């Protein structure tokens, strides 16, 4: 079973930096997913940058979310986390 997302930081290059309940951090590139109808609205960077965590899942709206399984299994391990205050 994969861990839940604890924190997420959306990046201007359409990637997500996620921290999981295990303390692990992963970078996930959303660009390949933006052509799918379920995620196409995220092409507007203003909406993409509103990613947040609800109950261990990354969400943008009531209709758009990304499972922790996808983020964990397909994300690349990284050793940093960017907080909102560090974003440009």
Question: For the chain, what are the domain ranges?
Answer: 5-78
Closest CA to 14 of 24, 29, 2, 25: 29
CATH code for residues 5-78:
3.30.2020.10
pTM over 0.75: yes
- From first to last of its 88 residues, the chain has per-residue pLDDT tens of 899 999 999 999 999 999 999 999 999 999 999 999 999 999 976 999 999 999 999 999 999 999 999 999 999 999 876 654 554 4
């Amino acid at each position: 079973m994969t861990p839940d997302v604890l924190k997420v930081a959306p990046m201007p290059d359409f990637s997500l930096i996620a921290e999981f309940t295990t303390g692990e951090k992963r970078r996930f590139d959303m660009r390949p997913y933006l052509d799918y109808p379920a995620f196409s609205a995220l092409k507007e960077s203003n909406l993409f940058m509103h990613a947040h965590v609800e109950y261990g899942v990354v969400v943008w709206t009531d209709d758009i979310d990304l499972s922790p399984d996808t983020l964990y299994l397909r994300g690349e391990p990284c050793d940093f986390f960017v907080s909102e205050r560090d974003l440009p």
